[in-house]
Structure 1
Amino acid sequence: MKSLIYRTICFIALVSGYTAAYAQSAAPAVGVAKVTGSLVNEQGKAADYATVSLLKAKDSIVVKGALSNENGTYSFTGIRPGNYVVKATMVGYAPGISAPVSVTASSTTVNVPAIKMQPSTHNLNTVNVVGTKPLIERRSDRTVVNVENSVLAAGNSAMEILEKAPGVSVDKDDNISLNGKQGVTVMINDKLTYLSSAQLATLLRSTDGNTIQSLEIISNPSAKYDAAGNSGIINIKLKKNRESGTNGNLTATAALGKYFRDNTSLTLNHKEGKFSFFGTLSRGDTKRENNIHIDRNVPGADSTTYFSQQTKMLDDNHYNNYRVGADFAMTSKNTLGFVASGYYNPDGSNNNNTTYIGSQPNVFSSYQNTLTTISQTYKNFALNINDKLEIDSNGQALSVDLDYSKFNNNSNAQYDTYFYNLNGSTMAPPQMLRNQTPSTIDIHTAKADYTLPFNKTTKLEFGGKYSDVKTDNDLEAQINTPTGYINDTTRTNHFIYSEKIGAGYVNFNKSFKKTSIQFGVRAENTSSNGNLVNSHQVVDRNYLNFFPSAFINQTINDKNEIGFNYSRRIDRPSYEDLNPFVYYLDQYTYMQGNPFLKPQYTNAFEINYTYNHNINVTLGYSHTSDVITEVIITDTVKKATYQTTLNLQSQDSYNLNINVPYTFTKWWTGNANFTGFYLGFKSGNSQPGVVNNGYLNSGKAAYQIKTTSTFKITKTFKAEFMTNYQSELQYGYYTVKAQYNFDGGLSQSLWNKKANIKLSVSDIFNTRKNNVIAHSNDNIIDIHQKNETRVGRLTFTYNFGNSKIKARDHQTGADDEKNRVKNQ
């Protein structure tokens, strides 16, 4: 650990020294200008991510290089007086060259007329791609991680890729945090997933990383987005295609940790005339081990009982995902489309749990062994119908989405517990329990968005959304008796939850010469009903909330830009957290939901600064009231410890993020990301059984460092390495110990870049662990967890067909609700 920290500090010092040197060498000189322009293709649309070079007109010597952005624009700064031409190259197109332009001593900005890129008539085999997207980009309202060409993306799942993103961390229970805060909303192609942390983890682990184009991290979303998510939004963008023709991608991965894993995916795209079709199929098998060791003491009226618990969990997961869709261009300005997606994911778990029990630390008088067998199936079908109408060429547009999604989750569990004296003799008859837990979730949503430009610098956006969600969870529990299994009334329960949300928003955008502003407000009315059928308890809620947001960006000069944003957000309890069902590890350790949870509200402020378009610094603060927090409760009568979720009084969060891309040489580039944060929790609520009786005033500063280095060894062979270190942090009643890991990979392009073979290893030194302590007064819970994190992967990818094809990138409206579905 000490040597790792030393190396990390040295690395940051090296990057900082390089950045300072670069800043000094790049200081603007007197009489320099900015040269800017744009690229369009033969259809008049933006030619994005083309390689652009500024050449001296006299001898064609290259002065500077750049890539055009997603809008087809490019710029060169610090250009001295002289005559120049701009040259652009792009796969499938002939080189485009501008007319000569002149930069004088008095020039500040020189605009180059738009360059029209013409399709090339030459064999594409002769085209050499020079430019690539950087791994991490900072845009005005989000950070984009371009994982499409990353070595470490090959063969990894979406969850494993997400863990490598700046400021993102995933805990032992698969809860995703951003800048130290939980409550992240995860979207796929701008669609809410409506999944719980557990189900979302299942989906992300079954999503092939080779189907992902990029991750968008939006820490403070505008009023256009659903107000859910106090930590912001992570949007996973899947690969898309557009233009005419047919293309596809086939990927196969073999992986080995302690057990063998494999996954394959096939993507096909076709466009002909007004029709375009796209589809993705992926399947995989993952077997992984998870080892947990828990030491705890439970105080009683007269004495304290000590427990030492060891659990080996073996999960055998299989996934089958599909996504198909089509677009029909009814006119040049009106496109109608549909997307159907779903999955069928069966999996099984075999857990072996041994718990030693005694009246003194490390002195045990008995033990029990619980063997658990769980068989589960997760099914989902989702359908989206969408229509987008471009009303005029000024940008006036209307889009409409209708969504339906259905989840069917079924779980059958058998718990067999055997009781022994310390010498191994039987202490009591075994206890046999079993559960059947069918669960269904139905989601209907409809939304519309309208954009009204007043001129080139001013526009108004407004829209509305309605969602209707119903969950039905039926826990059927039995206990074995001498006459056979009978219904266990103490555990059997039926929980039905329904929720309706009506929302509307308005956004105003205005751009000035160096300033852009956006102000908006979103209103959401929520009506919910939670019905505990067996106990005849009903929780009804109806509330209206307003969520304002504001964004201001100021360009100081060519190298300095600063922005400020504010938003108010809400997090409604997940469907799993509301479900009062009890899920056992053994009779002394279990988890239980809370149907009386209230939503939490967050006010978030953020200041961001960008230097030279690539070094980004973000400073944020947020205050959350009625914060939804996991807690550990002790039942001193049953001597049991269980996890549940409560509303604590408040959480204050401070965070600082610094992202620095670097280029040491043409063959060594990378990125360094530092996130520092402080999480402070307060609670004055009396909660019997909770650590400190529910009273809490805790907080601790923490930090996370992630670095990525890419080495271009040859034109077709590269290596990539990533380090990650997270310091010890405090989250509510929990202290999470420091963790770190090191990943590496190699990539070789084949057959004129139509194929690729990649070898990567995650957590090379097998150092990543989850160690958590809840410690207060006489109640101590010490958890040590080691997942199977060191996995080697060999991935082969083959691209076929027309490499230019892309399909309309469309997002639906049923994303926020999906993000709250959990395994029941």
Structure 2
Amino acid sequence: GVVLNILMSKNLVTGYRGSVFANYTQGVFPRYNAGMTNYFKTDKVNLFANYSYTDDKINRDNDDGVYYLDTNGQVDEFWKSSVNRNTWSKSHNLNFNIDFLLNEANTLSVSSNMLWTPYYKYNIDNNTNVYNANKVFQSRFEAANMANDDKYNLGFDLDYVHQFTKGSLALNGHYTIYDYNRFQESLSNYYDQNNNFIEPTAFNTDANQETQIITSQLDYKLPINDTSYFDAGMKFSNVQTNSDVTRYDYDFNTNQEILDVTNSSTFDYNENVFAAYSNIKKEWEKWRLHAGIRMEQTSLEGISLTNNQTDKQDYFDWFPNVSLTYQAGEVLSFYANYKRSIERPNYKDLNPFTFYLNDYTLVVGNPNLMPTYKDHYVVGSTVSPFLTLEAYYIHKNDNIFEIPIQNNQSNEITYSPINIEKSIEFGFDVISYFNVTDAWFVYAVTSFYNTYDKTATVNGIIEAKKWSNYSVLSNDFTFLEDQSLTANLTFIYISSNVQGFMDVAGRLESEISVSKTILNNKAVISLSAADLFNLGDFDTTTNYLNQRSYYNTNLDNRYIKLGFRYKFGNTKLQTNERQIDIKERERIKERD
């Protein structure tokens, strides 16, 4: 739902507060980010506005291998690829919040989050060698894939809050429009065993997607007494997505482009969700209870006009949640939580179009995706001021993963999202936070967990199970008598794990940052470095049924960053900065 954070206090301090900032990051290539914030406060109107500009160039390298199998499950061919990908982007981000304090009981607010990316470009260079079962070179091809995007994502909120003598009523209306256009060109050159040129292939595609989101929500909150609290509300959302893709193949004999009807299509998606909820909180001397229920009715329709295919879903369900806490002592407490929730597919995953990265690598949507139902159980204890212990169990039905699927007859790799029949994760967490000295604070978390995924396919049942570890160690340091020099050193360790039937190798993420306040605490200069040990890359292996491949990804996550921020005006003013929090917006994702 919507998180409302409208300031209703009687703080009579008025004035202006602002800041400017700039960041320079040196990874494989340099990147830049700069912007400013402004906050104006009067007796009746509060205005916050933030603008930033980002100029990025990101590198990524892949070493991939696919073992294509014969009907007996033996290796027939081995395809080894080296892929370099560069992306360039220039984006503008503008957010503003305006609160109109009509009187002590009524506030009207207008908010917006706007992102415009007029320039986004990627270039993928692929070199693939083909070997037979004895690893003798057979042929190769080179593929160049280039794309240019123009996109914007604009979100607007209108809020009204009325304060009763006891309780409050909040009304929210939201509108998002997302527009995405991509023009893609692909050229491949093929060579034989003697490295003689055979033939080229080429195509281009023009893809467009427009998504509009409209939501309306009502929330009522009532403190019954000092120990009891009640709230209830309802929400309606409508999502409409219209997409089209047109592909042209290039005929080198006639030097003409030919419309590829098979890979050109249009797709319209319409989704309506009505939800209502109610929660109650009750506190006793040593007990706290929070219980609630949410119901949702969903109706959706996806229409592929070119294929004359319509996919419909209509479902209703209940989503309870309950939390119980027992305060056994001044610090010692025990708690148990349960929550059932739903996670709907991203809009891009529902799009049935086929996008070719090259002649043999495809990305395909799935309009038949079902939502994921999640049951989450937690039991834990705050043992001391610096130690919390927690155990959890998560069960997901129809979990969504995008996995590579190799066709051993056509030698194609297709990336497509699918529903996993069952996903189970359970684990034990240890959370600690304490001061080693007055100038050294430590936050540490370690989680040992077991992941189990299972689903049925036309080729058989797939199962994957593995114990893994996720650990975080964060150190905060302060230096100098006025504590104007601070530093942070963070390590994140992720052991080998399973994601969507792919084995993911372990990795270590690390970052160090130092910041110094200057100019009478008006300015901060910072310096940070990431992936200190060059162990943060992403390697996966697939090996089940007739699927056998590996992907080693060298991410552009090793960098040095220099930042500067300067504050001016009345820096003690508390701003009304907030973000639009709409679940439907979170499902707007883009093709990688």
Name the residue aligned to 1:133. none
The answer to whether the 8 A contact 1:242-1:271 is kept is no
Name the residue aligned to 2:317. 545
Residue 637 of structure 1: how far off its partner (Å) = 2.6
Name the residue aligned to 1:136. none
Name the residue aligned to 1:780. 548
Name the residue aligned to 1:497. 269
The CA distance in 2 between the partners of 1:668 and 1:364, in whole Å, is 58
Give yes or no for the alignment of 1:708 onto 2:479.
no
The CA distance in 2 between the partners of 1:242 and 1:627, in whole Å, is 50
The answer to whether the 8 A contact 1:699-1:731 is kept is no
Q: For 1:114-513, list aligned pairs within 5 A.
A: 190=3, 243-301=13-71, 304-345=76-117, 346-392=119-165, 394=166, 396-427=167-198, 429-481=199-251, 482-513=254-285
> Which of these residues, 520, 527, 531, is aligned with residue 759 of structure 1?
527
The CA distance in 1 between the partners of 2:490 and 2:230, in whole Å, is 42
Name the residue aligned to 1:527. 299
Query: What amino acid does structure 2 have at the position aligned with 1:473?
Result: S
Task: Give the match's secondary structure for 2:457.
Answer: coil
The CA distance in 2 between the partners of 1:243 and 1:338, in whole Å, is 22
Name the residue aligned to 2:329. 557
The answer to whether the 8 A contact 2:48-2:576 is kept is no
Residue 811 of structure 1: how far off its partner (Å) = 6.3
My pick for the range that moved more, 405-414 or 451-460, is 451-460
Residue 720 of structure 1: how far off its partner (Å) = 1.5
Query: What amino acid does structure 1 have at the position aligned with 2:126?
Result: N
Query: What amino acid does structure 2 have at the position aligned with 1:706?
Result: V
Residue 674 of structure 1: how far off its partner (Å) = 0.8
Residue 602 of structure 1: how far off its partner (Å) = 1.6
Name the residue aligned to 1:162. none
Distance 1:361 1:575, change over 3 A: farther
The CA distance in 2 between the partners of 1:401 and 1:361, in whole Å, is 65
Task: Give the match's secondary structure for 2:399.
Answer: strand
Query: What amino acid does structure 2 have at the position aligned with 1:787?
Result: L
| TM-score, structure 1 normalization | 0.68
The answer to whether the 8 A contact 2:405-2:547 is kept is no
Structure 1 portions without partners, runs of 5+: 1-186, 192-234, 236-240, 688-692
The answer to whether the 8 A contact 1:243-1:807 is kept is no
Render the CA deviation track for 1:743-796: whole Å, top value 9, x for unaligned: 111111101211111111011222211000001255310110001111101101
Residue 243 of structure 1: how far off its partner (Å) = 4.4
The answer to whether the 8 A contact 2:331-2:384 is kept is yes
Residue 328 of structure 1: how far off its partner (Å) = 0.8
Task: Give the match's secondary structure for 1:365.
Answer: strand
Render the CA deviation track for 1:217-241: whole Å, top value 9, x for unaligned: xxxxxxxxxxxxxxxxxx9xxxxx9
Name the residue aligned to 1:161. none
Render the CA deviation track for 1:146-180: whole Å, top value 9, x for unaligned: xxxxxxxxxxxxxxxxxxxxxxxxxxxxxxxxxxx
Residue 242 of structure 1: how far off its partner (Å) = 9.5
The answer to whether the 8 A contact 1:252-1:263 is kept is yes
> Which of these residues, 796, 800, 811, is aligned with residue 564 of structure 2?
796
Name the residue aligned to 2:8. none
Name the residue aligned to 1:723. 491
> Which of these residues, 356, 374, 386, is aligned with residue 584 of structure 1?
356
Task: Give the match's secondary structure for 2:133.
Answer: coil
Residue 665 of structure 1: how far off its partner (Å) = 1.0
Residue 588 of structure 1: how far off its partner (Å) = 1.8
Residue 696 of structure 1: how far off its partner (Å) = 1.7
The CA distance in 1 between the partners of 2:519 and 2:554, in whole Å, is 41
Render the CA deviation track for 1:186-215: whole Å, top value 9, x for unaligned: x9x849xxxxxxxxxxxxxxxxxxxxxxxx
The CA distance in 1 between the partners of 2:525 and 2:216, in whole Å, is 43
Aligned Cα RMSD in Å?
Answer: 1.9
Normalized per residue, which structure has more helix? 1
Query: What amino acid does structure 2 have at the position aligned with 1:354?
Result: N
The answer to whether the 8 A contact 2:12-2:43 is kept is no
The answer to whether the 8 A contact 1:553-1:561 is kept is yes
The CA distance in 2 between the partners of 1:779 and 1:703, in whole Å, is 26
My pick for the range that moved more, 574-583 or 787-796, is 574-583
The CA distance in 2 between the partners of 1:811 and 1:555, in whole Å, is 34
Task: Give the match's secondary structure for 2:307.
Answer: coil
Residue 379 of structure 1: how far off its partner (Å) = 0.4
Task: Give the match's secondary structure for 1:522.
Answer: strand
Render the CA deviation track for 1:397-422: whole Å, top value 9, x for unaligned: 11110000000001010000111124
| Percent of residue pairs identical | 23
My pick for the range that moved more, 274-283 or 450-459, is 450-459
Query: What amino acid does structure 1 have at the position aligned with 2:493?
Result: Y
Distance 1:766 1:811, change over 3 A: closer
The answer to whether the 8 A contact 1:327-1:337 is kept is yes
Q: For 1:100-119, list aligned pairs within 5 A.
A: none
Render the CA deviation track for 1:595-617: whole Å, top value 9, x for unaligned: 11112212111112113344222
The CA distance in 1 between the partners of 2:127 and 2:249, in whole Å, is 20
The answer to whether the 8 A contact 1:502-1:524 is kept is yes
Distance 1:729 1:817, change over 3 A: same
Render the CA deviation track for 1:131-154: whole Å, top value 9, x for unaligned: xxxxxxxxxxxxxxxxxxxxxxxx
Query: What amino acid does structure 2 have at the position aligned with 1:322?
Result: L
Task: Give the match's secondary structure for 1:817.
Answer: helix
Render the CA deviation track for 1:289-344: whole Å, top value 9, x for unaligned: 10011111111348712100110001112111000121011111211110122111
The answer to whether the 8 A contact 2:460-2:545 is kept is no
Render the CA deviation track for 1:526-570: whole Å, top value 9, x for unaligned: 000011111111001111111111111111110211111111111
Query: What amino acid does structure 1 have at the position aligned with 2:497?
Result: L
Name the residue aligned to 1:656. 428
The CA distance in 2 between the partners of 1:607 and 1:678, in whole Å, is 17
Name the residue aligned to 1:19. none
The CA distance in 1 between the partners of 2:390 and 2:12, in whole Å, is 35
Distance 1:421 1:567, change over 3 A: same
The CA distance in 2 between the partners of 1:311 and 1:587, in whole Å, is 14
Name the residue aligned to 1:126. none
The answer to whether the 8 A contact 1:386-1:401 is kept is yes
Distance 1:780 1:361, change over 3 A: farther
Give yes or no for the alignment of 1:673 onto 2:432.
no
Name the residue aligned to 1:619. 391
The answer to whether the 8 A contact 1:242-1:805 is kept is no
The CA distance in 1 between the partners of 2:269 and 2:462, in whole Å, is 31
Query: What amino acid does structure 2 have at the position aligned with 1:562?
Result: F
Name the residue aligned to 1:699. 465
The CA distance in 2 between the partners of 1:793 and 1:627, in whole Å, is 37
The CA distance in 2 between the partners of 1:604 and 1:505, in whole Å, is 18
Residue 363 of structure 1: how far off its partner (Å) = 2.1
The answer to whether the 8 A contact 1:410-1:437 is kept is yes
The CA distance in 2 between the partners of 1:480 and 1:781, in whole Å, is 31
| TM-score, structure 2 normalization | 0.94
Q: Count residues in correspondence.
A: 579
The CA distance in 2 between the partners of 1:672 and 1:741, in whole Å, is 15
Residue 485 of structure 1: how far off its partner (Å) = 0.8
Distance 1:625 1:777, change over 3 A: closer
Query: What amino acid does structure 1 have at the position aligned with 2:94?
Result: Y
Residue 513 of structure 1: how far off its partner (Å) = 1.1
